[in-house]
């Protein structure tokens, strides 16, 4: 029988924890830019609309400023955010490749991030967060099964965690947007305003808020749907593996393909702010470990049918 995986031990070494600290800082830099994009797209646009309505003569200033905000977002902030997100995703990819014994896919991921960048980012993160909760990043239960199954369980855990956060966040956004829209409509009717005043004084100023909420909700929903499909693919591969339908070569190939999809999602999907992660972390960790234990027990119960052992 093939030896069990050492993922739980490797992920808690100083080398591995440095990767986690580095990508946490790198994603943090990308989220900082995303925060500025939000302020320009929502409060900034809202302020310009309100000023223009209250003081019509100010349009000579507010209109050019609104255009400047839009161009800053498209031409400057968005490329910076994407670059930082891509570096963070590559750092996370390198961590996973080393942990899962998978080769680096230079065609998909280009070059590995420079070690100097990782060291600097990790040092900055640890200085700002002296006691990070980064141990046991993946479920410790995978130590009971060989690496071909262990990495599938870990990949599923990563995909499920991301998918679940996005579903909840998207649901919150949708609920807030609906309440906001209902409030605007109710106010416009009860305020006894003329149509022109309703459009200029109520609908137009708050349009950027509604547009941002609906757009962000749709982007998060689309990302969550793609992640759910990926999760189902991983579960199918896992079930086929524990029933003897895949040998070691096929499993290694499948896991590498799954990792490519995971990297694509990390580098392209919209960011989630840290408050979402902190809000859901404890409950998600419990559910992740429970599911990992369930998958490990199921695999061991069918151990006689495995076809990937050395």
Alpha-carbon separation of residue 20 from 89, 118, 201, 260 (angstroms): 11, 10, 48, 19
Which residue, 109, 112, 85, is CA-closest to 23?
A: 85
Q: What is the pLDDT of residue 203?
A: 61
Q: Which residue reads 């896991």 in tokens?
A: 255
Question: What is the model's pTM?
Answer: 0.88
Stretch 180-189: mean pLDDT = 72
Tell me the range of 59-68, 210-219, 258-267 where mean pLDDT is highest: 258-267
Q: In whole angstroms, what is the distance from residue 177 CA to residue 169 CA?
A: 12
Q: In whole angstroms, what is the distance from residue 253 CA to residue 240 CA?
A: 14
Coil vs helix vs strand at 32: helix
Stretch 205-222: mean pLDDT = 81
Confidence check: pLDDT of 85 > 60: yes
Q: In whole angstroms, what is the distance from residue 215 CA to residue 226 CA?
A: 17
**Residues 172/280, Cβ–Cβ less than 8 Å:** no
Stretch 143-151: mean pLDDT = 96
Min mean pLDDT across 50-59, 71-80, 171-180 is at 50-59
Which residue, 159, 27, 152, is CA-closest to 102?
A: 152
Burial class (CB in 10 A: 0-12, 13-18, 19+), 117: middle
Confidence check: pLDDT of 53 > 70: no
Q: In whole angstroms, what is the distance from residue 101 CA to residue 51 CA?
A: 58
Q: What is the pLDDT of residue 198?
A: 59
Q: Which residue reads 């855990």 in tokens?
A: 157
With helix as H, strand as E and coil as C, how does 254-298 read? Answer: HHHHHHHHHHHHHHHCCCCCHHHHHHHHHHHHHHHHHHHHHHHHH
Q: In whole angstroms, what is the distance from residue 244 CA to residue 99 CA?
A: 24
Q: What is the DSSP letter of 112?
A: P
């Amino acid at each position: 029988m093939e030896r069990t995986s050492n993922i739980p031990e490797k992920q808690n070494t100083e080398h591995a924890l440095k990767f986690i600290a580095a990508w946490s800082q790198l994603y943090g830099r990308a989220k900082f830019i995303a925060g500025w994009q939000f302020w320009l797209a929502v409060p900034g646009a809202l302020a310009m609309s309100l000023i223009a309505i209250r003081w019509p003569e100010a349009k000579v200033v507010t209109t050019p400023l609104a255009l400047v905000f839009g161009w800053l977002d498209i031409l400057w902030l968005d490329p910076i955010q994407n670059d930082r997100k891509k570096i963070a995703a590559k750092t996370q990819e390198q961590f996973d490749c080393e942990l899962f014994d998978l080769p680096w896919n230079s065609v998909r991921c280009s070059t590995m991030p420079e070690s100097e960048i990782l060291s600097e980012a990790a040092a900055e993160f640890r200085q700002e967060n002296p006691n990070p909760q980064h141990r046991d990043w993946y479920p410790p239960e995978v130590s009971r099964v060989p690496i071909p199954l262990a990495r599938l369980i870990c990949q599923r855990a990563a995909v499920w965690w991301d998918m679940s956060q996005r579903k909840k966040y998207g649901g919150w956004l949708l609920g807030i947007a609906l309440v906001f829209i209902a409030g605007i409509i109710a106010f416009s009717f009860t305020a006894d305003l003329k149509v022109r005043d309703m459009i200029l004084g109520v609908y137009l100023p708050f349009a950027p808020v509604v547009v941002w909420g609906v757009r962000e909700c749709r982007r998060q929903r689309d990302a969550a749907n793609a992640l759910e499909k990926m999760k189902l693919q991983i579960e199918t591969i896992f079930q086929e593996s524990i029933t003897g339908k895949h040998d070691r070569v096929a499993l290694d190939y499948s896991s590498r393909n799954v990792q490519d999809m995971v990297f694509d999602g990390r580098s392209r999907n919209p960011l989630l702010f840290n408050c979402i992660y902190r809000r859901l972390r404890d409950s998600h960790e419990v559910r992740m470990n429970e599911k990992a234990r369930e998958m490990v027990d199921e695999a061991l119960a069918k151990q006689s049918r495995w076809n990937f052992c050395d």
